[in-house]
Amino acid sequence: MRNSNSRSEVTPNPYEMAVAQFNSVSDRLGLDEGMRRLLSMPKREITANFPVRMDDGSTQVFTGYRVQHNLARGPAKGGIRYHPTVTLDDMRALAMLMTWKTAVADIPYGGAKGGVIVDPKALTDRELENLTRRYATEISILIGLEGDIPAPDMGTDDRIMAWIMDTVSMHRGYSVPGVVTGKPISVGGTAGRMEATGRGLLYIVQEATAYRGLSGDGLTVAIQGFGNVGAVAARLLHRASYKVVAVTDVSGGVYNNRGLNPDALLQHKRPAGQLLGAPFGDSLTNEELLALPVDILIPAAVGGQIIARNASTIRAKIIVEGANGPTSPEADAILEDNGIFVVPDILANAGGVIVSYFEWVQDLQSFFWEEDEVNERLHRVITRAFRDVVHMAERDRCSLRQSALLLGIRRVVEAIGVRGIYP
Ligand code: NAD
């Protein structure tokens, strides 16, 4: 299955990458041909071309998607991305990853993803709201409290989630806070959601470094991407006495082997709009960041960043995947040969969806928890998932990626099996 959007040769097709990962474990799981076909394709997908009224009175047509991969374990769950490079294949890949991710974390959801081909920074607030409300209406035949619950991803935030929640609520005639997660607290959001993915990364880094026998203050960290995920991870790791020596965003970034202060970087980035030129160390490119000799490397930007061409330049001891799909299968093999310990996306960045689940549960109960309780429960769920995955990797003598896929896919297959095939 391909769509017509072209992609440069160096960036692998994300859907082909996701299917290759799935195929790499389906033999081991002994899946029959029918199950392989079922799980390597999305269950449902919408492509919507829709008009939006712009501030200058003109009309622009945008393209958006919502893809549901599998719902055997519960309602579909997955973020919404606003980015100029969004493709249908991205959505298919990311929806599949969400199915495995929710299963690895053992929360009762399936997987979905949505997105719009747009640069949100190029729109005014009113245009962004118009686009969001129209996109939400277009996909409202799929999304809903019990069927498919979106959340923020790249280029979207709590304000956009509030518009989606309001749009669906207007259609229903009453408030449906649980239709999206990652909302502002004032309309049913949860404490701790904004930081959840970065906080989950912190807990995973703590588990992974302990497991690999790296200890003590000042373990060095390089982070690619300085948005919702990367900047929060940088702040929390800094506070937990890790030494964040390099960060980049799309513009490039900054390196200082004595350590960087993420709060100062954020203060620089807010007015400047980019990290490049931050006066706290030497400038560096994204490729240079990936090749730094650090203890921990956290890709937390777009997918397809660690590929065959640059994998052998990586000198980090541990990679913790904050981004979705940052490593191609070819690169994975090179990293494994080089003894680099990779904590895969479907485990490492699950903090966001775990706390999204807590938000949804609180919305269903109309009863809200303190932030400490949210963080404590997140810690419990994500460290249990890490230990389950490590245990299986040791038992089956495989990488953490293979083990996480085995664990997640096995849980999904089990749910399909006990439900049976309708009719
Ligand atoms: P964001 O839009 O807030 O930030 C993305 C960051 O990546 C920005 O700093 C941007 O400048 C940088 N970036 C973009 N393209 C880049 C490139 N080519 N090279 C280097 N840097 C680049 O997005 P986010 O929410 O932080 O998401 C980042 C990644 O984490 C995505 O892969 C997303 O799917 C994944 N993720 C996000 C969440 C979440 O809760 N937000 C949860 C799980 C996974």
Do the Cβ atoms of 137 and 104 come closer than 8 Å?
Answer: no
207 plus 279 within the same structural domain: yes
277 plus 232 within the same structural domain: yes
**Complete DSSP assignment for 137-183:** HHTTTT-BTTTEEEEE-TT--HHHHHHHHHHHHHHHTS--GGGSSS-
Interval between CA 124 and ligand 1 midpoint (Å): 21
94 plus 130 within the same structural domain: yes
| Atom 2 of ligand 1, residue of closest alpha carbon | 154
Interval between CA 155 and ligand 1 midpoint (Å): 8
pLDDT, position 11? 66
pLDDT, position 276? 85
Looking at the domain assignment, is residue 343 inside a domain? yes
Ligand 1 atom at minimum distance from 303 CA = 32
Strands (E), 17-88: 44-53, 59-70, 76-83
Mutate to test the pocket of ligand 1, among 118, 247, 297, 302 (most ligand atoms within 8 A of CB): 302
pLDDT, position 382? 98
Residues near 375 by Cβ (< 8 Å), separated by ≥ 6? 192, 199
Give the Cα separation of 277 and 261 in Å (integer). 15
Ligand 1 atom at minimum distance from 345 CA = 44
Looking at the domain assignment, is residue 149 inside a domain? yes
pTM for the whole structure: 0.95
| Atom 18 of ligand 1, residue of closest alpha carbon | 250
Point out the residues that are catalytic: 113
Please list every protein residue whose CB sits less than 6 Å from any atom of ligand 1: 152-155, 197, 224-230, 248-250, 286, 300-303, 322-324, 349, 352
105 plus 206 within the same structural domain: no
Omega prior to 423 cis, within 30 of 0: yes
Ligand 1 atom at minimum distance from 196 CA = 40
153 plus 294 within the same structural domain: no
127 plus 244 within the same structural domain: no
Q: How many Cα atoms within 13 Å fall on the side-chain side of residue 138?
A: 24
| Atom 32 of ligand 1, residue of closest alpha carbon | 323
Interval between CA 32 and ligand 1 midpoint (Å): 36
205 plus 120 within the same structural domain: no
Looking at the domain assignment, is residue 269 inside a domain? yes
Q: How many structural domains is the chain composed of?
A: 2
| Atom 29 of ligand 1, residue of closest alpha carbon | 323
* 319: containing domain: 196-348
238 plus 333 within the same structural domain: yes
| Atom 14 of ligand 1, residue of closest alpha carbon | 250
**Complete DSSP assignment for 89-118:** HHHHHHHHHHHHHHHHTT-S-EEEEEEEE-
Backbone angles phi, psi at 283, to 5 degrees: -70, 150
Looking at the domain assignment, is residue 148 inside a domain? yes
One pLDDT digit (tens) per residue for the chain, 423 residues? 434 344 444 567 999 989 999 998 999 999 999 999 999 999 999 999 999 999 999 999 999 999 999 999 999 999 999 999 999 999 999 999 999 999 999 999 999 999 999 999 999 999 999 999 999 999 999 999 999 999 999 999 999 999 999 999 999 999 999 999 999 999 999 999 999 999 999 999 999 999 999 988 999 999 999 998 999 999 999 999 999 999 999 999 999 999 999 999 999 998 888 998 889 999 999 999 999 999 999 999 999 999 999 999 999 999 999 999 999 999 999 999 999 999 999 999 999 999 999 999 999 999 999 999 999 999 999 999 999 999 999 999 999 999 999 999 999 999 999 999 999
Q: Give the distance from CA 311 to its chain's centroid.
A: 21
Ligand 1 atom at minimum distance from 94 CA = 34
Looking at the domain assignment, is residue 31 inside a domain? no
Interval between CA 295 and ligand 1 midpoint (Å): 21
pLDDT, position 12? 75
275 plus 311 within the same structural domain: yes
Looking at the domain assignment, is residue 363 inside a domain? no
Interval between CA 303 and ligand 1 midpoint (Å): 9
Interval between CA 322 and ligand 1 midpoint (Å): 8
| Atom 36 of ligand 1, residue of closest alpha carbon | 323
Residues near 53 by Cβ (< 8 Å), separated by ≥ 6? 59, 130
